[in-house]
């Protein structure tokens, strides 16, 4: 019985670690946005882009941000890819962990975006 309980505790703790790691690290995401100069186009607060056609990133859903960055990595020819010369070049340099971290950071920022029903 003790072996089973120890196994269950191990699995739960391992699962929690993996899920926390996959969710992204906010501090590492902040560092990555500085490293890759994301604010130069999307604005210092990530809510005031330099061009109105650029998206406001602050507070966006984390899974959406992850999907968007991965789609830019795939490019326009890839499945569910996105084609944009600037973002394609920026996103290709990101590791999988960078994508997770950046998405976690941007999602954590305050926003004025609202959902309308």
CA distance 9 to 11: 6
Q: What percent of the chain has pLDDT over 70?
A: 80
Question: 0.85 exceeded by the pTM?
Answer: no
**Can you read off the two tokens belonging to residue 77?**
């020819």
Average pLDDT of the chain is 85
CB 6: neighbour CB atoms within 10 A? 10
CA distance 72 to 85: 9
Q: Mean pLDDT across the stretch 71-89?
A: 89
Q: Mean pLDDT across the stretch 87-109?
A: 96
**Coil, helix or strand for 29?**
helix
Fold of 26-108: Cytochrome Bc1 Complex; Chain D, domain 2 (1.10.760)
Please answer whether residues 94 and 36 qualify as being in contact, where contact means their C-beta atoms are separated by less than 8 angstroms.
Answer: yes
Q: How many CA atoms lie within 13 A of 65 on its CB side?
A: 26
């Amino acid at each position: 019985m003790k072996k089973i309980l120890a196994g269950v505790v191990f699995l739960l703790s391992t699962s929690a670690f993996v899920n926390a790691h996959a969710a992204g690290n906010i501090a590492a995401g902040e560092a990555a946005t500085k490293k890759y100069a994301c604010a130069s186009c999307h604005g210092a607060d990530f809510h005031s882009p330099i061009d109105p056609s650029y998206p406001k990133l602050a507070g966006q859903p984390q899974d959406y941000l992850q999907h968007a960055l991965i789609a830019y990595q795939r490019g326009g020819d890839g499945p569910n890819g996105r084609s944009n010369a600037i973002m394609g070049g920026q996103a290709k340099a990101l590791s999988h962990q960078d994508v997770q971290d950046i998405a976690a950071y941007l999602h954590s920022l305050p926003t004025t975006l609202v959902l309308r029903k």
